[in-house]
Amino acid sequence: MELKSTVHDYKSDFKGDYTLSVATDIETSNKKLEFAGKYQIFDVNMNIENPIIKAWKQIWSMQINRTYTFDFEQYNPDGTVQIYCT
């Protein structure tokens, strides 16, 4: 099973309010989340303590051009994780 944690509806940037949703690849309805767009992809080092939190802190500290429209974390069956940022 593949799992995605999505961050969207940003009110400003990572310091402001936003919405967090979770999606899987299991079909339970006719609704489908679309992840179209231009993303910067960050591989998460899963061999450290608190890897997701540390990855987001690193992203937030970077001077990168972001639109803050729709970001997501992709949790893969092999245990790897990527963070996709707009």
> What are the residue ranges spanned by the domains of the chain?
3-25+37-85
Tokens 């940003």 sit on residue: 10
Q: What is the pTM of this model?
A: 0.72
Confidence check: pLDDT of 39 > 60: yes
CB-CB contact of 8 with 18 (8 Å): yes
**Element housing 72 (H / E):** strand 70-75
Top-confidence residue, 85 or 23: 85
pLDDT digit string (tens) for 17-35?
Answer: 888 887 776 666 555 556 6
CB-CB contact of 5 with 72 (8 Å): yes
- Find the largest Cα–Cα distance for the chain: 39
Length of the chain equals: 86
Q: Name the CATH superfamily, with its identifier, for domain 3-25+37-85.
A: Regulatory factor, effector binding domain (3.20.80.10)
The Cα 59–Cα 77 span in angstroms is 24
Tokens 């939190």 sit on residue: 53
